[in-house]
Amino acid sequence: MSDFNTRTIGSDVTVIQPKGRLNMGGASTLRKQLQGIVDGGSSRIVVDLSATEFVDSSGLGALISGLKIARQAGGDLRITATPAQVTTVLELTNLNRVLPTYDSADTAFDD
């Protein structure tokens, strides 16, 4: 699987947009790419899920792993634009308490 698209907002926020199914294959790619982003010096990360049609436990694990990596580096990971299926999975697992959804990537770190 190829890397997911990334972009920067301002000087210190990196946005990554997984596409398709965030299952075992996609989760592995996401986890590696999130580690690379933090290793590259950016610890404030937004995961834009607008193009993600499905997430399973592997995908959730990659998001939590990215959250941990970002926080250990002094930053944070935030998610935006969650489709209905992703929102349902987050609510069923209570991970919506750990990973609240923000309205847009551009405003996720406005607080």
Cβ(16)–Cβ(4) below 8 Å: yes
Q: 9 in a domain, yes or no?
A: yes
Give the pLDDT score at 11. 82
pLDDT digits (tens, 9 = 90+) for 85-108: 999 999 999 999 999 999 899 999
Give the pLDDT score at 111. 79
pLDDT digits (tens, 9 = 90+) for 7-50: 999 889 999 999 999 999 899 999 999 999 999 999 999 999 99
For residues 70, 95, 31, 3, the Cα torsion angle rounded to the nearest 10 degrees is -110
Q: 67 in a domain, yes or no?
A: yes
Q: How many domains does the chain have?
A: 1
Q: 38 in a domain, yes or no?
A: yes
Q: 10 in a domain, yes or no?
A: yes
Which structural domain, as residue segments, surrounds residue 41?
5-102
Query: What CATH number corresponds to the domain at position 45?
Result: 3.30.750.24
Q: pTM surpassing 0.85? A: yes
